[in-house]
Amino acid sequence: MTIKMRIILLVGCFALMASAITGLGIITIGDYNRILRDVSVAHDDAYRGEHLNRLVTAAVMESRGVYMSKDTTEAKKYADGVDKNLNDIQKLLTDWQAQLQSGQLPEFDAVKSKADEFVGFRRELARLGRDVSPEAANEQGNNEANRSNRKALQQNIDAMVADIHGKLDATNVRLEAFKTQRIWQFLLIAAGGIIALLAASLWVAFRQISRPLQHVTDSVVRIAEGAYDTAIPDARGHDEIASLWRSIRTLRDHAVEAEALKAHQREEELRIEQNMREERNRIAAEFEQNMGELARRFAESSRTVAESARSLTGNAEDASQRAQSVNHA
């Protein structure tokens, strides 16, 4: 694998870690929103339960106004208040039921059933107070059996609200646990990923790049200093370091060839110089020999000339003497 591909792989690992963290973040946001929706739904359920209880109490208070009225005219005002609260109860239960998911609030059906009975009973009570007489309404509603039914309804509502608050508390605990868990997950993924990638980066930088390059540098320096016997690894890889080793091997071989050629040239130059020196000596010796022979011959010629001259001189003198002798005779 080339250095470029190793670096790209490391960058890809960093991108993968960032993607994992981003993915975990997106999942966390989704899970957190779901838990918040559960919390919001629990808050809404608790509010509706408490509001239902207040409406029941308000309807009961208006019913007492009907009981205490002097006539139907005075009772009508309270009866209308009872109907208004009952309408609010029915609307609240209808809207609440429409928003409930399956299994979200098991107690709701029982509460709604009792609430419907309460609404039907109180509507009849309001009608009696408005259309018949407060006394008829009082006889209808102001008794222990009715109070027991109303208390049972409100106890059911209170139990449902308490259960909702319990679920809300459990959801809040789950939310805190979820936050703690995800914080640790983020820390472990980020820290673990950074440490692992940092270790991998350092390993690639020092083991795969720096150390081989230092070895290459040392080998090049030794070869440049003339150590042509430097061992070159048999690099068979396809990365840049292997290419460098192959290039250095070729460079070393060429340097060895060049050095051998230079040595051969030096030997040839020395041989030529020796031959030239010998040739000069030979020529000088021959010149000296020839000049000596020439001088010898010149000396011999000179002696011959001198002897000839002396002979001529002798002959001349002899001729002169003979001439003189003739003259005297």
How distant, in Å, are the alpha carbons of 37, 108, 124, 273, 293 from that of 91?
23, 15, 18, 126, 155
pLDDT digits (tens, 9 = 90+) for 236-287: 777 777 787 788 888 878 888 888 888 888 888 888 888 888 888 888 788 7
In a domain, 312, yes or no: no
Neighbouring CB atoms inside 10 A of 41's CB total 19
Residue 287 lies in a domain: no
Residue 171: pLDDT band with limits 50, 70, 90? confident
Quote the tokens at residue 242.
């292997």
Does pLDDT of 299 surpass 80?
no
Domain presence at residue 69: yes
Q: Is the pLDDT of residue 74 over 60?
A: yes
Burial of 304 per CB tally in 10 Å (0-12, 13-18, 19+): exposed
pLDDT, one tens digit per residue, over 40-52 is 888 999 999 999 9
Residue 132 falls within a domain, yes or no?
yes
For the purposes of burial, counting CB atoms within 10 Å of the CB of 165, is it exposed (0-12), middle (13-18) or buried (19 or more)? middle
**What is the distance of C-alpha 278 from the center of its chain?**
78
Is 172 a domain residue?
Answer: yes
Is residue 101 in some structural domain?
yes
pLDDT of residue 306: 67
The residue among 125, 122, 127 whose CA lies nearest residue 153 is 122
Question: Structure pTM?
Answer: 0.58
Domain count for the chain = 1
Calculate the average pLDDT of the chain. Answer: 85
Whether the per-residue pLDDT at 162 is higher than 90: the answer is: yes
Q: Determine whether 205 is exposed, middle or buried from the number of CB atoms within 10 Å of its CB (0-12, 13-18, 19+).
A: middle
Q: Is residue 46 part of a domain?
A: yes
| Three-state helix/strand/coil letters over the chain | CCHHHHHHHHHHHHHHHHHHHHHHHHHHHHHHHHHHHHHHHHHHHHHHHHHHHHHHHHHHHHHHHHHHCCCHHHHHHHHHHHHHHHHHHHHHHHHHHHHCCCCCCCCHHHHHHHHHHHHHHHHHHHHHHHHHCHHHHHHHHCCHHHHHHHHHHHHHHHHHHHHHHHHHHHHHHHHHHHHHHHHHHHHHHHHHHHHHHHHHHHHHHHHHHHHHHHHHHHHHHHHHCCCCCCCCCCCCCCCHHHHHHHHHHHHHHHHHHHHHHHHHHHHHHHHHHHHHHHHHHHHHHHHHHHHHHHHHHHHHHHHHHHHHHHHHHHHHHHHHHHHHHHHHC
- For residues 134-143, give the mean pLDDT: 92
Q: Tell me the pLDDT tens digit for each residue of 75-126.
A: 999 999 999 999 999 999 999 999 988 888 889 999 999 999 999 999 999 9
How do residues 181-220 score in pLDDT, each as one tens digit?
Answer: 988 988 888 888 889 888 888 888 887 777 878 888 888 8
pLDDT band, residue 60 (cuts 50/70/90): very high
In a domain, 282, yes or no: no
pLDDT given at position 323: 62
Domain that holds residue 30: 3-204
Specify the CATH number for the domain of residue 178.
1.20.120.240
Give the N- to C-terminal CA distance of the chain in Å, as an integer: 137
